[in-house]
Structure 1
Amino acid sequence: MISVFGSANMDLVAYAATAPRRGETVTGTAFATVPGGKGANQATAAAKAGASVAFLGAVGDDAFGPVMRGALESAGVDVSRLRVVPGSSGIAHIVVDGEGGNSIIVIPGANGAVKGPTPDDAAVIARSDALLLQLELPMPAVVAAARAAGDVPVVLTPAPVQDLPAELLEVVDVIVPNEHEAAAITGQADPAQALDALLELVPEAVVTLGSQGALYGSRGGERLHVPAVPVRAVDTTAAGDTFVGALCVARAEGRTWEAALRFAATAAALSVQREGATTSMPTRAEIDAAMAG
């Protein structure tokens, strides 16, 4: 089982040929309301990729809360530990341009009320094969969850990027930033150099490079580059979360790092060919078929 301690947001997605610059108004082509949030995204991706997944987080008591709970349940995620708190659910305002790129503003809402894992949450984490964390919850809550993991491998997606306290890094096993996040954390613009710098902080790291694939390294050990699957991107929203969720499923199944990275790259490639966040994520059957083809 994989546990995900993280955020749930309702994504309000506007599509336009060109994203507006400051002070500019553009005419959009479509609008969608899609359940998302980095935590819920990774939980959905992992469940669709074949894992048993428990999601630990919070939604508000507004109209969006039941919709997000229902979406997670429909994907096969255990939401018995998803709390409801007074006020608004988390919201993400997303603009997607004609090339599939996006810009995002996140309003934490109920996510900001999460203070850390409850004793029941900690018990779920302790019997997991991996704990997935992101940074859309308050940092003290993320640190508390990581510390509750004990011997369970902790996988951190350091987004939105921010200063990472030593007390978090000392219990993270794998960090998975994209190339921009890796550069911001390490001060190294070159992804390979950023990977080396990350391995001074944690035992293993994966730097995702979008259309250029991903780099993996372990402290004092191997280095891998796995290329992306070439596709035409329609919407890159949640491609990184799809990659992380699928990667952790593959590793939990005992696949080598190279095989796991290829599995994750295939899942991400399938997701960017569809619109939306959780709605774009492929099933295990789709990933297996794409890899076989």
Structure 2
Amino acid sequence: MPARGDKIVPGTVVVVGSANQDYVIACTALPRPGETRLAGRLRRFPGGKGVNQAVAAARLGGAVRFVGAVGDDSDGAFLIRELRSEGVDTSDVEITTVARTGLAFVSVLPDGENAITVVPGANFTLVADRTARAVRRLADASSIVVLQGEIPVPALRAAVETGVRCGARVVLNLAPYTELPAELLRLADPLVVNEVEAAALLGTPVAALGSPTEAARRLAERAASAVITLGGAGAVWARGRDGAAVPAPPVGQVLDTTGAGDAFVGGLATLLAEGHDLDAAVSFAVEVGTVAITRVGAQASYPSRADVVEAGRGRKRGEEPLAGRKSS
């Protein structure tokens, strides 16, 4: 990490990933096959796992650059404006005329759980050569390169391999689960998955291995390090023989889990870019995700650094967590 005088300057967080327009539907239950249900309300938010993670990191103070693609349409223009308003560098967002901006339809249940259907659109126009050139230009040995599973595998592979050649650390959030070559997984430091994605990689449910920590250790045999997010239970991490469980702090009311995993990854990448170790980064990321689930929406729920600090202080004072407060 570069330094100016006595001040440590965090590395850049380079997010290569998806950009979607999210349509969030509040509903009491998901429709069964052949059933029509009435929903409470429909709202529109900027989204996509890549954009979400970029915004989450930027709100926490990260220096963030985003590499992705949107359509030449109003949704794409809206996403670029929103990224810029958050301080994210959008110089490497391609505007394409061959596909419309990606869309995500999110159904949110009363307990905060959600179901999501994604139409990739322009996200699947990302190609390996262009992605590699962008990462080569943006990343160096102080950088964190962040990826997810919502872009084509050739582009993902190009970004990972180019990032490693530049000396950057690669955070690979394999969500949604996508089959990748073993040699590519080994470059992830860490590989970040939830329990469903971990089970797909391991070929067995996490519970069948006795503990999430054991599952993380198994995954760390395939990657440089591994993190499994556990929803309300927090997360576990492993690197070689080292590892730990990080419980989530209590919350008053879970309002919406949409995008909480992306908030976690944004927090993780931000602290890694500041030079912290994996244990500290996971602990901070759990705090970030915990604040996010007490608010509605994906990016709308993401906290600032001050919000995370205040939430911790509030718990020490025995106060109600941030549930119900306006997002920043």
Q: TM-score by structure 2 length?
A: 0.86
Please state how far the C-alpha of 1:284 moved relative to its aligned partner.
1.3
| Structure 1 match to 2:155 | 141
Q: Does the aligned pair in 1 maintain the 2:127–2:155 contact within 8 Å? A: yes
Give 3-state SS (helix, strand or coil) of 2:95's partner: strand
| Structure 2 match to 1:249 | 270
Q: Does the aligned pair in 2 maintain the 1:129–1:152 contact within 8 Å? A: yes
Deviates more, 1:89-98 or 1:283-292: 283-292
Q: Does the aligned pair in 2 maintain the 1:126–1:148 contact within 8 Å? A: no
| Structure 1 match to 2:225 | 204
| Structure 1 match to 2:321 | none
Q: Which amino acid aligns with 1:175?
A: L
Could you tell me how far apart the structure 2 residues matched to 1:99 and 1:153 are? Answer: 36
Could you tell me how far apart the structure 1 residues matched to 2:143 and 2:213 are? Answer: 29
Please state how far the C-alpha of 1:223 moved relative to its aligned partner.
1.4
Q: Could you list the per-position Cα deviations for residues 232-260 of structure 1 after superposition, in whole angstroms to 9, with x for gaps in the alignment?
A: 21110110010011011112223343332
| Structure 1 match to 2:120 | 108
Deviates more, 1:119-128 or 1:105-114: 119-128
Please state how far the C-alpha of 1:127 moved relative to its aligned partner.
5.8
User: Superposition pairs for residues 215-234 of structure 1, below 5 Å?
Assistant: 215-219=236-240, 221-231=241-251, 232-234=253-255
Q: Does the aligned pair in 1 maintain the 2:67–2:134 contact within 8 Å? A: no
Deviates more, 1:73-82 or 1:119-128: 119-128
Instruction: Let me know the Cα RMSD of the aligned residues.
Output: 1.4
User: How many residues of Structure 1 are paired with residues of Structure 2 in the alignment?
Assistant: 292
User: Superposition pairs for residues 76-95 of structure 1, below 5 Å?
Assistant: 76-86=87-97, 87-95=99-107
Q: Does the aligned pair in 2 maintain the 1:263–1:291 contact within 8 Å? A: no
Q: TM-score by structure 1 length?
A: 0.96
Please state how far the C-alpha of 1:118 moved relative to its aligned partner.
4.9
| Structure 2 match to 1:276 | 297
Please state how far the C-alpha of 1:109 moved relative to its aligned partner.
0.5
| Structure 2 match to 1:66 | 77
Could you tell me how far apart the structure 2 residues matched to 1:107 and 1:267 are? Answer: 28
Looking at CA atoms only, which structure, 1 or 2, has the larger radius of gyration?
2
Please state how far the C-alpha of 1:166 moved relative to its aligned partner.
2.4
Give 3-state SS (helix, strand or coil) of 1:137's partner: coil
User: Superposition pairs for residues 111-122 of structure 1, below 5 Å?
Assistant: 111-116=123-128, 117-122=131-136
| Structure 2 match to 1:124 | 138
Please state how far the C-alpha of 1:113 moved relative to its aligned partner.
0.4
Q: Which amino acid aligns with 1:125?
A: A
Could you tell me how far apart the structure 1 residues matched to 2:193 and 2:78 are? Answer: 29
Please state how far the C-alpha of 1:279 moved relative to its aligned partner.
1.3
Q: Does the aligned pair in 1 maintain the 2:56–2:303 contact within 8 Å? A: yes
Could you tell me how far apart the structure 1 residues matched to 2:278 and 2:217 are? Answer: 17
Please state how far the C-alpha of 1:19 moved relative to its aligned partner.
1.9
Q: Could you list the per-position Cα deviations for residues 65-98 of structure 1 after superposition, in whole angstroms to 9, with x for gaps in the alignment?
A: 0110011111111111111001300111111111
Q: Which amino acid aligns with 2:250?
A: P
Could you tell me how far apart the structure 1 residues matched to 2:150 and 2:278 are? Answer: 27
Deviates more, 1:87-96 or 1:18-27: 18-27
Please state how far the C-alpha of 1:22 moved relative to its aligned partner.
2.0
Give 3-state SS (helix, strand or coil) of 1:236's partner: coil
Q: Could you list the per-position Cα deviations for residues 81-133 of structure 1 after superposition, in whole angstroms to 9, with x for gaps in the alignment?
A: 11100130011111111111111111110001000215244210236520000
Q: Could you list the per-position Cα deviations for residues 196-229 of structure 1 after superposition, in whole angstroms to 9, with x for gaps in the alignment?
A: 221121011110000111001101x311111112
**Cα gap change, 1:13/1:36 in structure 2, threshold over 3 Å: closer, same or farther?**
same
Q: Which amino acid aligns with 2:197?
A: E
Q: Could you list the per-position Cα deviations for residues 130-151 of structure 1 after superposition, in whole angstroms to 9, with x for gaps in the alignment?
A: 0000010000100000011122
Give 3-state SS (helix, strand or coil) of 1:80's partner: strand
Q: Which amino acid aligns with 2:180?
A: L
Structure 1 unaligned regions, length at least 5:
none
| Structure 1 match to 2:22 | 11
Q: Which amino acid aligns with 1:152?
A: A
